Each structure stands twice: as structure tokens, then as C-alpha cells.
């Protein structure tokens, strides 16, 4: 199986590679357009800032490449957020993102009950509606680190509650995405990655 991890100006890419190696999969980390397009599976992970990252993707034509993929593609953390319509993580208002999913990305606003931002640590997901979650127990825990979240909408296939409900995962056609970090979520994360790798 030819698995590609998209290389761009984001952090935490190599932890996904390590997680795949533990599953016996040697992925290629690359920003080469032809290699990305020819891969059997594509993973778009990372930790970063939306506005700067979208600028990088456009400068390297990766925005068009990602939107045009037809094989199973998995966005993780900032990868998921960049696959949404827009993000509030911008210097002036919002930045237009890839628009694969209809949902918007908004900033967590501290309230009287919860004032800790970013949302960091373990939290459960529920209302699971995707083959990505086959074999998971009820209300499994996953690891999160993020200050922005995707709203709940037509593409939501799992939710998490922090301050309020938001999209823990999105799916549309061949595109899958999760806000949490499966590569840092132990056995539950391994199930997610295995399910993705087994997609047709």
C-alpha cells in the first residue's frame, strides 16, 4: 500500500509517521504533487496556524491538489480545520480554507464554567457515524490540543463537548478528518488509523 503524508509548513507530521510504522506501514512524507496524486491513501496532518498555512498551500499549489484527490484522504487537527470553509484563525477576520467540508472553524471563547484555552488533554467522542469508528467502544477517549473548533453541520460524523458541542470528526465522499490526534491516542487511535488504511 502506498501511503503519503503531505509535507508542508506544519509541525507534528513525524508523529503520524511513527504511529503508522508501529502498524507496519512505511509512509512517504512528501510535498511532491505527483506522488500525492498517485498514493493509495493520503494523510494531511499537522499543528500550525491557519492563515499562514493556507498561504503556503496556495503558493505550492497544494490547495488544488488536496481538493482534487479521489483516494481516501484523512485530515488531522489543523488538516481538518483547513479542509473546512473558513477559519477565524486570521489576523483580520477570517481566512478562506479549502472548502471541502461546509463547516466553519471558530475560536473557543472562555466562559464562566470553562476558561481554559486551548482545549488540551483527553476527551470523549460520541454520535459516531462513520466506518472510521468501527470497533470502538462507547464514548472512547482521544487526545486533543487546539484553540479553534469546527462547527457542527451536515458533514459532522462525531462530536465532542468542550464549552459546547463541536465536530470531533467530519466526512464527505473520500475525505475524512478528525480534530483529535489519533497518533497520540494509544489503542483507540490505532483503531482509527487501521480503519482508515482499510478503506477502499
The DSSP code for 61 is: T
Q: Which spans in 23-49 are helix H?
A: 33-38
How far apart, in whole angstroms, are the C-alpha atoms of residue 44 and residue 80? 8
Give the up-direction half-sphere exposure of residue 167: CA atoms within 13 A in the CB hemisphere. Answer: 29
Active site (catalytic) residues: 77, 181, 183
Nearest to 160 by CA among 168, 152, 171: 168
User: What are phi and psi for residue 42, nearest 5 degrees?
Assistant: -125, 135
Cα 82 from chain centre: 8
Interatomic CA distance for residues 62 and 103, integer angstroms = 21
SS3 91: coil
Amino acid at each position: 500500500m502506498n501511503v503519503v503524508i503531505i509535507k508542508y509548513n506544519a509541525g507534528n507530521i513525524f508523529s503520524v509517521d511513527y504511529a503508522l510504522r508501529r502498524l507496519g506501514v512505511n509512509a512517504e512524507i512528501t510535498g511532491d504533487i505527483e506522488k500525492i496524486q498517485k498514493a493509495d491513501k493520503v494523510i494531511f496532518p499537522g499543528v500550525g496556524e491557519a492563515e499562514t498555512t493556507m498561504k503556503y498551500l496556495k503558493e505550492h499549489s497544494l490547495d488544488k491538489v488536496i481538493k482534487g484527490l479521489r483516494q481516501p484522504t484523512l485530515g488531522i487537527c489543523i488538516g481538518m480545520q483547513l479542509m473546512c470553509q473558513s477559519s477565524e484563525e486570521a489576523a483580520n477576520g477570517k481566512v478562506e480554507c479549502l472548502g471541502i467540508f461546509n463547516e466553519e472553524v471558530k475560536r473557543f471563547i472562555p466562559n464562566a464554567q470553562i476558561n481554559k484555552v486551548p482545549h488540551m488533554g483527553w476527551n470523549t467522542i460520541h454520535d459516531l457515524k462513520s466506518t472510521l469508528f468501527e470497533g470502538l467502544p462507547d464514548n472512547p477517549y482521544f487526545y486533543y490540543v487546539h484553540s479553534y473548533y469546527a462547527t457542527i453541520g451536515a458533514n459532522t460524523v462525531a462530536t465532542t463537548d468542550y464549552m459546547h458541542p463541536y465536530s470531533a470528526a467530519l466526512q464527505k465522499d473520500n475525505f475524512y478528518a478528525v480534530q483529535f490526534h489519533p497518533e497520540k491516542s494509544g489503542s483507540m487511535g490505532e483503531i482509527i488509523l487501521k480503519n482508515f488504511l482499510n478503506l477502499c
